[in-house]
A and B are shown apart, each in its own frame.
Chain A
Amino acid sequence: MTGFLVQQLVNALTIGAIYALIALGYTMVYGVLRLINFAHSEMFMVGGHVGFFLLAAAASLTGGPASVLVVFAIFVATFIAVGLLGVGIEATAYRPLRGASRLAPMLSALGVAIILQNVVMLFVSRRPLPFPAFMLSMSFDVFGAVVTLNQIFIVLFAIALMVGLGWFVNATTLGIKIRAVSENMRTAQLLGINVNTPISLIFFIGPGLGALAGILYAGYYGIVVFSMGFIVGLKAFIAAILGGIGSIPGAMLGGFALGILETFGGGLLPRLTHGAIGSEYRDIFAFSVLVLVLIFRPAGFFGESVTEEGMVYKRDF
């Protein structure tokens, strides 16, 4: 039994780490623009594909599996590439709509998501592509559970990134500007901050982190496909809500929390109900969590307590 629980915990933390990285993108964008960036899930997907091609290119150049340095370089390159994509999308599809109704940018984001998915589907590949493993396949026996090096790497790497982001947002001027703009854009402007810079930076970092999550996910499951963004993205979004949308530590915690809830919920339900409810209900579980959180505590873990008046940012349409 211990082995089973430890295994579930490790699995939960691994997928939770990935959710957390993606959730950061959602939460930062929502925090500053009150926009649910539907296109973010596609950043995750694009990141996976960019990583795929860079790894393939590296492999063909060196004729063998990539070294640690090369893999690191690929991570950096993917981060930058997808980050720039995010900045570009913000500039073309969201910025012109900044003053318009709440619904318009959301629909624009949707359009962008459709475009990205279909561009990859049509011009890259319709079928899943096999993602090369960039990690030595080593595994350890921990209390009866099998823990792979890959899983440890994902969790540690994600935590490192999150710590890095936390430092950046708290200790650097740019980071503080980001927090200022998230808290209250008007006041930040009154203080002389040019809001476009922090906003563009948010759209650089968020998608970048999502892209790295894409590479980690692809390396873990071994494939990339144009449709991988949708469900994972939606779950990461639920994680962001769970943690308190708009809160960076919230997204981090929410990601891990959702990973745990989902894995243990999906893993234990069959045992508890003797097979009556199977683990396909994992997804329903996640959505039920979403609905329950929003009904009973919309602010999530770390969001500011949301009052009914506070939910209306400005007139909806």
Chain B
Amino acid sequence: MRRQAGTRTGRLRAVAIVALVVAGLTYLVPGLPTYYVRVIDMVLIYVLLAAGLNMVVGYAGLLDLGFVAFYAIGAYSYAILASGQFDIHLPFALVLFIGGGLAGIAGVLLGIPVLRLRGDYLAIVTLGFGEIVRLLMNNLTWMTNGPQGVSRIDEPFLFGAGLNTPQDFFRLLLPLVLVALTLAWRLERSILGLGWAAIREDQDAARGIGINTTIAKLLAFGLSATLGGFAGVIFAGLQRFVDPVSFSFWESLTIVLIIVIGGLGNLVGIVVGAAVLIVVPELLREYSEYRMLLYGCALVVIILLRPRGLIDRRYNPAWLIRKLGWR
């Protein structure tokens, strides 16, 4: 966090480049064929999910293999509160907060009993928790309609306009993702983020110098879960249909993979990771039968060649922004 003396032009240049890129994307992407926009929407949703999980795994160093549970809670919140299921039709913005809130509470509830656990034990418990949530979604048929899922979910309305095409969702997701990433970035550099880094490096020493590891860990679980919940609500609004199949252990793993392959803890890596992990299977759709096989091979090869992820920790957003001219 050293700050070299910068020039005003340098900063203006960086801001201008970023603004130009964002504006360009906002203008160009909706012009692409709907299929591409849909894929980009999914990439953005996964960036949101990965940004959330990154707080727990990348910053605080707590391996969570059941993150999909919070995604599911968010999605089912919207499915139940805005559809024909119980004939409740709450507005999208309200459910966004309800879903995020419920997921956040669930995150804290998960965090409390696992405070004492570390490493693999923590990973396994979170895995179990994720599976339990999925099985509950599958079996509590009176609430969630079980394996058939909830369909005919309301179209989300935001600021009076309906969001029914992938392009609409792109215009919602892009600013949201940017805000989320910025918040995550700032959080990493805040006191809380420094506390997380201390916990990641050596939890006992962190405790020793007076960091309240309990609060820090609970906040990590809660905040990450809230982001996951947000992503879930948006996903439900985008797809207008939810079923337990979309919330399996496999999803949790995909999100973990995005973070690991992209480069742990690195927000630039998350974007790259999400892009790779969502786009590549889509590209391989032609070989759809062999898709998963190639996926598995690619996974093993990437891990063997670059166990620390594709993007090194050095190339984080600060590096990126400095490259653009902000000093």
Task: Point out residues on A near B: beta carbons under 8 Å.
Answer: 30, 34, 36, 93, 96-97, 100-104, 107-108, 110-115, 117-119, 122, 234, 238, 241, 278, 280-281, 283-284, 287-288, 290-291, 294-295, 298, 306, 308-309, 311-313, 315-317
Taking each of B132, B297, B298, which has the highest tally of chain A beta carbons within 10 Å of its own beta carbon? B132
A315 (CB) vs chain B CBs: closest residue: B201
Instruction: Give the chain A neighbours of B61 by CB distance below 8 A.
Output: 316-317
Taking CB atoms, residues of chain B closer than 8 Å to A298 are: 117, 121
**Nearest-CB residue, chain A, relative to B129:** A291
Given the known interface contacts A96-B304, A115-B293, the answer about A294 and B125 at a Cβ–Cβ threshold of 8 Å is: yes
Residue from A104, A111, A291, A317 within 8 A of B297 (CB atoms): A111
A115–B298 Cα distance when bound, in Å, is 10
Residues 107-155 of B at the A interface (beta carbon under 8 Å): 113-114, 116-121, 123-125, 128-129, 131-132, 135-136, 138-139
Residue B257 interfacial (CB < 8 Å)? yes
Quick one: given A97-B303, A312-B119, are A284 and B139 in contact (CB under 8 Å)?
yes
Question: Taking the nearest CB of chain A, how far is it from the CB of B155, in angstroms?
Answer: 33
CB pairs A–B below 8 angstroms (22 shown): A36-B120, A97-B303, A102-B119, A107-B260, A111-B299, A111-B300, A112-B300, A115-B293, A117-B292, A118-B293, A287-B128, A287-B135, A290-B128, A294-B124, A294-B125, A295-B113, A295-B117, A311-B118, A311-B119, A312-B119, A312-B203, A313-B119
Residues of B within 8 A of A111 (CB): 296-300, 303
Q: Tell whether, in the assembled complex, residue B121 and residue A118 are in contact, meaning their CB atoms are under 8 Å apart.
A: no
A227 to chain B, nearest CB (A): 12
**Contact pick for B296, options A112, A288, A312, CB 8 Å:** A112
Are B63 and A115 interface neighbours, CB within 8 A? no
- Hey, what's the 0/1 contact readout for B1-25 against A, CB within 8 Å counting as 1? 0000000000000000000000000
Contact A283 B299 (CB under 8 A): no
Further contacts, 7 of them, CB under 8 A, given A107-B303, A294-B117: A93-B300, A97-B303, A114-B292, A115-B296, A118-B296, A306-B121, A312-B119
A36 to B63, CA, bound (A): 13
- Distance in Å: Cβ of A307 to nearest Cβ of chain B: 9
Q: Which residues of B contact A114 (CB under 8 A)?
A: 292-293, 295-296, 299
Q: Say if the beta carbon of B211 comes within 8 Å of chain A.
A: no
Contact A97 B300, beta carbon cutoff 8 Å: no
What residue in chain B is nearest A115 (Cβ atoms)?
B296
Q: Closest Cβ of chain B: how far from A204's Cβ, in Å?
A: 21
Q: Which of B131, B200, B257 contacts A287 (CB 8 A)?
A: B131
Contact call A316/B63, Cβ cutoff below 8 A = yes
Mask of B248-276 contacts with A, CB within 8 angstroms, 1/0: 00000100010010001000000000000
Of chain B, the residue at the smallest CB distance from A97 is B307
Q: Which A residues lie within 8 Å of B119 (CB)? A: 102, 311-313, 316
**Docked pose: A80 CA to B47 CA in angstroms:** 45
Contact, CB under 8 Å: A118 / B292: yes
Interface residues of B in 189-233 (CB under 8 A from A): 200-201, 203-204
B257 / chain A contacts, CB cutoff of 8 Å: 107
B290 interface contact, C-beta 8 A? yes
Question: Would A295 and B307 be within 8 Å (CB), given that A309-B204, A311-B121 are in contact?
Answer: no
Specify which of B61, B118, B303, B308 lies most central, judged by the most chain A CB atoms within 10 Å of its CB. B303
Number of B residues near A (Cβ < 8 Å) is 43
**Distance between A316 CB and nearest chain B CB, rounded to angstroms:** 6
Residues of A within 8 A of B286 (CB): none
Chain B hits for A104, CB < 8 A:
303, 307
**Is A317 touching B264 in the complex (CB atoms < 8 A)?**
yes
Q: Which residue of B lies closest to A34 (CB)?
A: B120
Chain B 61-76 interface 0/1 with A at a Cβ cutoff of 8 Å (1 = within):
1010000000000000
CA A241 – CA B125 in complex, angstroms? 11
Residues in B with CB closer than 8 Å to A238 are: 128
Is B87 at the interface (CB under 8 A from chain A)? no
CB-based nearest A residue for B264? A317
Instruction: Output the least CB separation between B84 and chain A (Å).
Output: 25
* Interfacial chain B residues near A117, Cβ < 8 Å: 292
- Shortest distance in angstroms between A210's beta carbon and chain B's nearest beta carbon? 19
Min CB–CB distance B218 → chain A (angstroms): 15
Which residue of B132, B293, B299, B303 is within 8 Å of A119 (Cβ)? B293
For A103, what are the chain B residues with a Cβ–Cβ distance below 8 Å? 63, 260
Chain A nearest CB, measured from B256 CB (Å) = 8
A291 touching B304 by the CB < 8 A rule? no
Identify which of A100, A283, A294, A309 contacts B307 (C-beta below 8 A).
A100
A103-B63, A110-B299, A287-B135 known; A308 and B116 CB under 8 Å?
Answer: yes
Contacts of B300 in A (CB 8 A): 93, 108, 111-112, 115
Our pick among A284, A295, A312 for the contact of B132 (Cβ within 8 Å) is A284
Residues of A close to B290: CB separation below 8 A: 118, 122
Q: With a CB–CB cut-off of 8 A, which chain A residues contact B295? A: 114
Min distance, Cβ A103 to any Cβ of chain B, angstroms: 6
**Chain B: which residue is nearest A119 at the CB level?**
B293
Would you give the shortest CB distance from A300 to chain B, in whole angstroms?
11
Q: Once the chains are docked, how many angstroms separate the CA of A107 from the CA of B124?
A: 14
Q: How far is the CB of B172 from chain A (nearest CB, A)?
A: 32
Q: Which residues of B contact A280 (CB under 8 A)?
A: 138-139
Chain B hits for A108, CB < 8 A: 299-300, 303-304
Point out which of A234, A290, A295, A317 has the most chain B C-beta atoms below 10 A from its C-beta. Answer: A317
Q: Which of B135, B203, B264 contacts A284 (CB 8 A)?
A: B135
Q: Among the interface residues A107, A117, A283, which one has the most CB atoms of the partner chain B within 10 A?
A: A107
Complex partner residue of B124 from A115, A290, A306, A309, CB under 8 angstroms: A290
Q: CA of A104 to CA of B295 in the docked complex: distance in angstroms?
A: 16
With A and B bound together, what is the CA distance between A285 and B55 in angstroms? 30
Distance from B275 Cβ to chain A, minimum over Cβ atoms (Å)? 19
* B residues in contact with A312, CB < 8 Å: 118-119, 203
